[in-house]
Structure 1
Amino acid sequence: MFRPRVLLLAEAANPEWVSVPLVGWSLVRALAGVADVHVVTQVRNRDAFLRAGLVEGVDFTAIDSEALARPLWKLGSFLSGGRGGWTIQQAVATISYPYFEHLVWKHFGADIRAGRYDLVHRVTPLSPVQQSPIAAKCRAAGVPFVLGPINGGVPWPKGFEAEMKREREWLSKVRGLYRALPGRRATLRADAILAGSRQTLRDIPAQHHARVIYLPENAIDPARFNAVAVHGGPGPMRACFIGRLVPLKGVDMLVTAAAPLLRQGRLVLEIIGDGDMMEALRAQATEFGDAVRFHGWKPHTEVQDIAARCQLLAFPSIREFGGGVVLEAMALGLAPIVVDYAGPAELVTDATGWKVPITGRDGVIAGLSDRLAWCVDHPEQVAAKGHAARARVQELFTWERKAAQILQIYNWVLTPGLPKPDPFGQD
């Protein structure tokens, strides 16, 4: 089988971290199973790559762009008040990331021009705000450039302005200005653009849609998510939340919505994670005693063990680009309840879970309350959706499956006349 030679740009890729770096790492390792890849990452990831057994100079190259990246990251942290505000960090990265690609070209430009790679693929950053100066250089060298998955651009939903203020996401109001950044047009002329969400796809100008493929960025490793949720056991139904305890995640709304069931002893909430809302949430849940359990941060294996004792994932995040935790819970056989907005809503179908309309705080709380009560009264249907959720993840959302989907895209880019891949169709 043909194995293309691919230079993977993964500025953020780290097996020991979470969120985007873990997505980057997982995807580049999966692609190594279907292509001959060389990974280019930022020097901050070097030691983790080595600990994972990769050989520097053979499997990967670490680019030291810290002269610009570190002070800009500190600036972003300062502007976001230490919260790590996504929009602010992406804004400062619009300066540092092009410098990273500048150094990549200095190191690999001659090899690219000499045809030692069949294509160049930028895996991370995931944000569409970050432009790729290297795209035009690859085009001039006659080497295809693949972009993505890219994901972002989800507006703050109406009715949650207070949460936006508390998250210090004031810059999101002018986020659309990134469309005027130098290099955007050249970046969007990539030979293939992988859009991680329908929102991102809609944000890409129509003239480029012939080269855009919908492909959510998240997936799971079956070896890491190998437990199976227990449905139909004794005792009350259990629902878990997994994530940061911050305003946009909506855990306070979840506790309010679940209150009647918690008082009646018909539901237990397992809250896994930590954040600056922990103290307030503990105070809110005092009256419910052991019906609300705060576990704090836990290693992956412990998270899985706690989640597998549940039947539901209750995840009322109001602004989530990807929603990887939803897939992880589905992989365990939990039926998810999510807010019908952005990433999680695209991962959950009618057969696998429920979506609560996003109609302001009161509307979300009422929707969550109704759905939780229905689930407690219908455990058999919860079990059926949990089983369907697990099957859907195994079919479409493993990293091995993701690599096979991207290999199809590589073949399409490299072979004129092939039909455009459509891994998810009208799903």
Structure 2
Amino acid sequence: MTHKPSSRIRPLIIVEAANPALTSAALVGWSCAQAISKVTDAHIVTEWRNRDDFLKAGMVEGRDFTAINNRRLQHLSWSLASKLSRKGSFSWSLYALFSNLVYPFFERKLWHAFRSRLEAGEFDLVHRVLPLSPTTASWIAPRLKKIGVPFVLGPLNGGVPWPKGFDDLRKQERDGAGRLRTLHRFSRGLSKTRESASAILAASRTTLREIPSQLMQRVVFMPENAVDLEKFPLNPKTTHSETSRPLRISFVGRLVALKGVDMLLTAAAPLVRSGSLHLDIIGDGPERERLQKMVADEGIAAGVSMDGWVPHAQLGSRLRKSDLFVFPSIREFGGGVVLEAMALGIPAVVLDHGGPPELVPPGTGYVLPMTTREDIVSRIRQLLTELKNDPAQLKSAGELAQAHVRKYYTWEAKATQILEVYRWVLGLRSTKPDWGTPMGFVHTQDSVVQAVDTIPESLLVPGHGF
């Protein structure tokens, strides 16, 4: 297929689980598809359960999107995962396993609905944004290859291993089904999917390492998350430099054991007790009652806010009150909330494992080694103490964080990046797009703020600056 230079590309975008009213992967899929639609003549395909929310968001069925009815099998996968999960703790690894089994039926129905239009050349390419899982095979990928329609896969993210020393949390999360994930290496369907793809978007280095070396020439590194500027505008952050006021730090996320909120509470407790720090924990989940008991036992209730969930549209105004965002999750695939804090000019503290450290270049935040629970608590406490005594450095880090988000991680920037992938796949550019691995890190190496000299080297990951 060929294009005139001025013509708009016509992608068929698959986002089976996308929904503007939800969060996590569902919201990522929706936001990504919407962003792509602004720079292309796209048509979106989703599952029927999302239809009403698409219509409420102003989408026109038939013109803007098509809803495929695979509800019965999708409900079956959810029901099985719910029944087999431990009471009060839904097993997402089980749900992913069952979803992988039923997803091909969705693509079969999609193929029947769009085959004639694809064969007629109505679409220039097909891009599957969701599912994000790198273990979900595509039933239509080899069929698209057979009729000469390019297939773009991803961003793909998943498979982050459990860190050593946290086996108790793995058992608590009931991730036994996750051990079966290694079987995907023997999946012929997954091999055919990758071999049929014209481009594979890898959202993390973990996923990148799983892709066979002979396919690397088709791979572009691109994390799946980005920032909605209507909710998290890139306005200058007002940063206080006085040490007399409490340092305000925040956490946002599900209150489950792997998020490490208990480590944050333990680390922050002495500073909260002394009036030097205020901690805002935003979220809800099965750990909430235990965490509230920790707060009471430590005698720090006056300096800790724990009010439950905040609607995503209101999260920005709540976060903006913070000086620092601390996200000590021990096993995180993406970490979109880290970008949202950075967009507000709030530097983030993350652990060097999974997706979050790939979003925090040198100078924009603080990446601490993934070590033992006790060592992590000690490093967080030391860092909070240093920043309390010298909060002025947060201003420079916050400005660099905003600049990084502005260049690489708005949905507008993401759409431009994906458009360049489309152009490459369609032969409209000769070289594969490359923004670095991790994205944008190479461009920030010369911009590390001088404040790094004030942080003890023992706290930081070697070679990562902050």
Answer yes or no: is 1:413 the counterpart of 2:425. yes
CA deviations 1:268-321 (Å, max 9, x no partner) are 100000111111111111201221111211122432222111110010001100
| Paired position in structure 1 for 2:257 | 247
* Secondary structure at the counterpart of residue 415 of structure 1: coil
Task: From 365, 377, 380, give the equivalent of 2:377.
Answer: 365
Q: Which range is displaced more, 222-231 or 320-329?
A: 222-231
Matched with 2:405 is: 393
Q: Give matches, 1:14-413, under 5 Å.
A: 14-81=19-86, 83-189=89-195, 190-226=197-233, 229-232=237-240, 235-286=245-296, 287-413=299-425
Query: Residue 84 and residue 112 in structure 1: after superposition, are their counterparts in 2 closer, same or farther (change >3 A)?
Result: farther
Q: 1:83·1:167 contact (CA, 8 Å) conserved in 2?
A: yes
Counterpart amino acid of residue 116 in structure 1: E
Per-residue deviation, 1:230: 3.1
Cα displacement (A) at 1:249: 0.4
> What SS does the corresponding residue of 1:33 show, helix, strand or coil?
helix
Contact 2:16 2:130 (C-alpha < 8 Å) held by counterparts: yes
- Give runs of ≥4 in structure 1 deviating > 6 Å: none
- Cα deviation digits, residues 323-351 of structure 1 (max 9, x gap): 00000010111110001111001001121
Deviation of the 1:233 alpha carbon:
6.4
How far off is 1:85 after superposition?
2.6
Aligned to 2:455: none
Contact in 1 for aligned 2:241/2:390 (Cα 8 Å): no
- Code of the residue aligned with 2:30 in structure 1: it is W
Distance 2:9 2:163 in 1: 42
CA distance in 1, matches of 2:272, 2:237: 21
- Structure 1 residues 2, 377: closer, same or farther in 2, change over 3 A? farther
Q: Look up the equivalent residue of 2:222 and give its one-letter code.
A: L
Equivalent pair of 1:230/1:311 in contact (CA under 8 Å): no
SS at match of 1:342: coil
Secondary structure in 2 matching 1:322: coil
- The residue type equivalent to 1:236 in the other structure is P
Q: Kindly indicate whether the alpha-carbon contact (under 8 Å) linking 1:269 and 1:292 is maintained by their aligned counterparts in 2.
A: yes
Task: Read off the aligned partner of 1:133 and give its amino acid letter.
Answer: W
- What SS does the corresponding residue of 1:271 show, helix, strand or coil? strand
SS class of match (1:61): strand
1:215-269 C-alpha deviation (Å, 9 max, x unpaired)? 0000011111126543116621100000111001000000001112112111110
1:154 is paired with a residue of what secondary structure?
Answer: coil
* TM-score normalized by the length of structure 2: 0.89
> Could you list the per-position Cα deviations for residues 331-373 of structure 1 after superposition, in whole angstroms to 9, with x for gaps in the alignment?
1111100011110010011210011111121121112111111
Amino acid aligned to 2:23: V
Please report how far the alpha carbon of residue 89 of structure 1 lies from its aligned counterpart in structure 2 after TM superposition.
1.3
Gaps of 5+ in 2: 1-5, 442-466
Higher mean displacement: 212-221 or 417-426: 417-426
Letter in 2 for 1:300: H
* Structure 1 unmatched runs, 5+: none
What is the Cα deviation at residue 375 of structure 1? Answer: 1.3
- Partners of 1:242 and 1:228 lie apart in 2 by 21
> Over residues 53-91 of structure 1, what are the superposed CA-to-partner deviations in whole Å (9 max), with x where a residue is unaligned?
111011000000012111111111222235333321111
Secondary structure of the corresponding residue to residue 317 of structure 1: coil
For the 8 Å contact 1:231–1:311, the answer to whether it is kept is: yes
Q: In the alignment, which residue of structure 2 is the partner of 1:422?
A: 434
Whole-angstrom distance in 1 between the partners of 2:339 and 2:429: 34
Output the CA distance in 1 between the equivalents of 2:84 and 2:371: 30
CA gap of 1:373–1:122, structure 2 versus 1, over 3 A, is same
Q: 1:252 and 1:331 mapped to 2: Cα distance? A: 26
* Structure 2 counterpart SS, 1:365: helix
Q: What is the DSSP-based 3-state SS (H/G/I as helix, E as strand, rest coil) of the residue aligned with 1:274? A: coil
Task: Find the residue that maps to 2:249 and give its secondary structure.
Answer: strand
| Amino acid across the alignment from 1:336 | A
How many residues are paired up?
427
Moved more, 55-64 or 70-79: 70-79
Cα separation, 2, equivalents of 1:105 and 1:128:
21
The 1-side partners of 2:59 and 2:174 are apart by 38
Residue pair 2:258, 2:331 contacting (<8 A) in 1 also: yes
CA shift for structure 1 position 383: 1.8
d(CA) in 1 for partners of 2:291 and 2:75? 34
